[in-house]
Chains A and B, each alone.
Chain A
Amino acid sequence: MIVVAPAGKGGMLLEMEGITKQFPGVLANDRVDFDVRSGEVHTLLGENGAGKSTLMKVLYGLYPADAGEIRLRGEPAAIGSPSDAIEHGIGMIHQHFMLVPTLTVAENVALGLPTGSRVRQDLRPVRKRIRELSDAYGLQMDPEAYIWQLAVGERQRVEIMKAIYRDVSLLILDEPTSVLTPSEVDDLFVTLRRMTDDGRGLVFISHKLREVMSLSDRITVLRGGRVTGRTVPDETSREDLAHMMVGREVRLAPSRIEVETGEVRLSMSGLNVAGDRGAPAVIDLDLAVRGGEIVGIAGVSGNGQRELAEALAGLRPVESGKAAMGGADTTDMTPKEIRRLGVSYIPEERMRDGAIGDFSVAENLILVDYDSPPMSRRGFLDFKEIEEGCSDLVERFTVKTPSLDTPTSHLSGGNIQKLIIARELSSDPAVLIASQPTRGVDIGAAEYIHSVLMERRAQGTAILLISEDLDEVIGLSDRIAVMFEGRIMGVLDKEEATVGHLGLLMAGVADDAA
């Protein structure tokens, strides 16, 4: 291993110069210059599809660059594969988890490293070292647990552990916080600060401007593959950053109008739903949503929100109790029957549940209503209608794609999210169940999604908004229910909801006790 000697704090660690990367139909990076000093957090900011992940994948040896040079501590470095990157002391935490679910934490950490002899693996020293590093960096984990047993926050800690264990001098974090709860984010930042105190350099990518402002030492903004701005937190604001990313003014808080609420369109009574491993996930839940109303469900993820949404959408059996939508009892209906009632569903795990990677953008957009007019007539797809409808959606939701025929797996992470959201919001649903609708999407798109939700509300849709983003829940909802360990801790009207009050309920402190 050519581990690079630790530089003094502030020494130049990485210089990327004139990096250019062309994909079919997209110039993902256009002569990008980027550098990182030791001991600092340098943030990469940009819309979905701006080229952030691509630039970092070039650095990590996952894509070859078409042009440009990479220097590490002043020396030109040829990085042709992840092994080269690892040898140079570079680590990367990817936008999607890179863990083997069927292996243990220790095995995942040890993967690719010599452990024991060739013929006999010895993980004892690995487990010991993991425990030591856990303490030193505040990363709690059980080295012998299997990855599939862990919640997302714990998985993220394992990803960080993999990097720390390898003693990387430069760590790339591609949207590490998009799946974390607010308190997990705080813990992560503490860990990251310890890493920079040790003289490591970090590249941080996030769409959450609050985080960017609090963690970064420097910020570089990409738009359309080019660097469009460089700044430091002291000289900028969230509004300025949003402007730099999108190239126009962005309203961070949605505007709302008074809407006359209608009849109850979505109701749950005494609902019980089991989790993946059979334990109760939703317990005796009662809630009703009227037309023209947005009811937010706040709460740290993993408290039954996902199971609730899946049960409502017909994807998970209801143990007992009743769910009704648009006047019909939907408790035992199939997803298709429920959709027929005019119910739209934006799943939380959009990559897994929402899109088919090998299908084209257009095919994914019509996935739900391909079998009814206007998309198809008498069993035949109407291609002209499809193309017009899809182009319109792609434009309105700013889905960045070279064409409607591009395989969806070629889009950037955030653009896949937008695609699914565009599909689900395109019809005129009577009921909308939206799980984390802006997770992983950029500011401009989040603004648009919020405005569409408000529009649907004005048109009388009953909306159940499940989100961990308190700003989002407070900004959009008429009423807010807080979920904790499968139960609703309390329902607050918009006026009485403050971050502090919600935070208490989210931590499981009941209202009458508070």
Chain B
Amino acid sequence: MSDFFTVSVLLATVAAGIRLAAPFLLAALGETLGQRSGVLNLGVEGVMLLGAYGAYYATLRTDSVLLGILVGLAVGAFMGVVYGVVTLALKAEQGISGIGVFIFGLGLSDLLFQRQVGTPTPIDGLRDWEVPLLGGLPWIGEVLFHQNVLVYAAFLLVPVLWYLIYRTPFGMNVRAVGETPEAADSLGVSVNGTRYLTILIGNSMAGLAGAALALELGIFQQNLTNGHGFIAIALVYFGAWRPAGVMAGSLVFGLVSATVLQWKTLGIVAGTTASIVGMFPAVLTILVLVIVSRRTGAPSALTRPFERGR
């Protein structure tokens, strides 16, 4: 255990925790926006897988990480259009459609991978980029400012999303539509128009989250995300539908995961113990959900399709 409590190991663990938090954060922020407008998307995991594969494949073929990121975003946006049509135009049950998206994403990403790539081929993924000046700060520099661009992007999106939700006319429409769609409609706000946009943005962010994961690891394999998307949904509840809360949840999650990894690496835990400790993050999610299950702040119209004149 004493190996763990050295400054360098601790710093490395925290830095890793922040890095691991980024994909959760990207996906959970997107889901927050969608849920704020009253749309639940249980398919985040599937979208992440497709985004991850798209990013991986594009980078593999072109050696351009930037292109990989863009493809991840585009795949997410495309899935957003699909999900929007299914849940808004066709008014399908949101819970079921989301599970459908997950299964679709899981299957298709694997199929494409087997067909187009076959054997796991590593790519040159995201590299860390040291922020000038800040990166040189003792301790803090190492932890916060030696990360890859998608980590910076994820954390910068926290204030951006907060601003979008609370300080723009669009954000006010989102909050109104998620709470009392009839009232918004009666004032001429387009309920489904608003929801299409949040779904589009939310799914793009899920695609980006997948890209972050694949480009960070530099690899793709079947079920690469391994539950990230579902945990992201739980984090939305944990964060009480607020960007800052979601960020706190993602950080807790990232740090716990990093600690477990570090313990394994240092051999502090091994064998069966390691497997048990490996379940920590999942157990933590459940505990947290039990504790915060008051659901205060949940948008009242969550999962309720809108139909005029009912």
A100 to B187, CA, bound (A): 11
A86 to B190, CA, bound (A): 13
For residue B297, which residue of chain A has the nearest CB?
Answer: A102
Tell me if A115 is interfacial: C-beta within 8 Å of chain B. yes
Q: How far is the CB of B190 from chain A (nearest CB, A)?
A: 8
Q: How far is the CB of B21 from chain A (nearest CB, A)?
A: 28
A99 to B171, CA, bound (A): 16
Known: A101-B180, A409-B310. A94 touches B168 (CB 8 A): no
Q: Assess whether A100 is in contact with B309, with CB atoms less than 8 Å apart.
A: no
Known: A81-B188, A112-B184. A103 touches B172 (CB 8 A): yes
Known: A83-B188, A111-B189, A112-B187. A100 touches B169 (CB 8 A): no
A101 to B300, CA, bound (A): 10
Known: A81-B188, A162-B187. A115 touches B176 (CB 8 A): no
Tell me if B179 is interfacial: C-beta within 8 Å of chain A. yes
A98 to B182, CA, bound (A): 7
Q: Which residues of B contact A116 (CB under 8 A)?
A: 169
Known: A57-B309, A82-B188, A409-B310. A111 touches B168 (CB 8 A): no
Tell me if A62 is interfacial: C-beta within 8 Å of chain B. yes
Tell me if A119 is interfacial: C-beta within 8 Å of chain B. yes
Within 8 A of B (CB), among A205-262: none
Known: A81-B188, A82-B186, A83-B188. A103 touches B175 (CB 8 A): yes
Contact pick for B176, options A63, A100, A119, A162, CB 8 Å: A100
Tell me if B173 is interfacial: C-beta within 8 Å of chain A. yes
Could you give, for residues 115-141 of chain A, a 1 whenever the CB lies within 8 Å of some chain B CB and a 0 otherwise? 110111100000000000000000000
Q: Which residues of A contact B176 (CB under 8 A)?
A: 100, 103, 107, 111
Q: Which residues of B contact A82 (CB under 8 A)?
A: 185-188
Could you give, for residues 76-107 of chain A, a 1 whenever the CB lies within 8 Å of some chain B CB and a 0 otherwise? 00000111001000001010011111110001
Tell me if A497 is interfacial: C-beta within 8 Å of chain B. no
Identify whether the interface residues of A are mostly helix, strand, loop, or mixed.
loop
A113 to B186, CA, bound (A): 12
Q: Which residues of B contact A120 (CB under 8 A)?
A: 167-168
A107 to B179, CA, bound (A): 13
Contact pick for A62, options B167, B173, B180, B309, CB 8 Å: B309
Q: Assess whether B179 is in contact with A119, with CB atoms less than 8 Å apart.
A: no
For residue B310, which residue of chain A has the nearest CB?
Answer: A409
Tell me if A24 is interfacial: C-beta within 8 Å of chain B. no
Tell me if B183 is interfacial: C-beta within 8 Å of chain A. yes
Known: A100-B180, A100-B184. A112 touches B170 (CB 8 A): no
Within 8 A of B (CB), among A56-79: 57, 60, 62-63
Tell me if A114 is interfacial: C-beta within 8 Å of chain B. yes
Q: Which residues of B contact A111 (CB under 8 A)?
A: 172-173, 176, 183-184, 187, 189
Q: Assess whether A98 is in contact with B168, with CB atoms less than 8 Å apart.
A: no
Q: Assess whether B187 is in contact with A86, with CB atoms less than 8 Å apart.
A: yes
Q: How far is the CB of A269 from chain B (nearest CB, A)?
A: 35
A98 to B180, CA, bound (A): 8
Could you give, for residues 174-213 of chain B, a 1 whenever the CB lies within 8 Å of some chain A CB and a 0 otherwise? 0110011011111111100000000000000000000000
Known: A63-B309, A111-B176. A118 touches B187 (CB 8 A): no
Q: Which residues of A contact B308 (CB under 8 A)?
A: 62, 81
Tell me if A285 is interfacial: C-beta within 8 Å of chain B. no
Q: Which residues of A contact B183 (CB under 8 A)?
A: 97-100, 108, 111
Contact pick for B175, options A86, A100, A112, CB 8 Å: A100
Q: How far is the CB of A19 from chain B (nearest CB, A)?
A: 15
Q: Which residues of A contact B185 (CB under 8 A)?
A: 82
Q: Which residues of B contact A60 (CB under 8 A)?
A: 186
Most buried by B among A82, A99, A115: A82
A98 to B186, CA, bound (A): 8
Q: How far is the CB of A284 from chain B (nearest CB, A)?
A: 32
For residue B299, which residue of chain A has the nearest CB?
Answer: A102
Q: Which residues of A contact B300 (CB under 8 A)?
A: 101
A86 to B187, CA, bound (A): 7
For residue B172, which residue of chain A has the nearest CB?
Answer: A107
Interface residues of A (CB under 8 A from B): 57, 60, 62-63, 81-83, 86, 92, 94, 97-103, 107-108, 110-116, 118-121, 162, 409
Given contacts A98-B182, A112-B173, 20 further A-B contacts (CB under 8 A): A62-B186, A62-B309, A81-B308, A82-B186, A82-B187, A82-B188, A97-B183, A98-B186, A99-B180, A99-B183, A100-B183, A102-B179, A103-B176, A111-B176, A111-B189, A112-B188, A114-B169, A118-B168, A120-B168, A121-B167
Interface residues of B (CB under 8 A from A): 167-173, 175-176, 179-180, 182-190, 300, 308-310
A-B contact pairs, 13 of them (CB 8 A): A57-B309, A82-B187, A97-B183, A100-B175, A101-B179, A102-B175, A103-B179, A112-B173, A112-B188, A114-B169, A116-B169, A118-B169, A121-B167
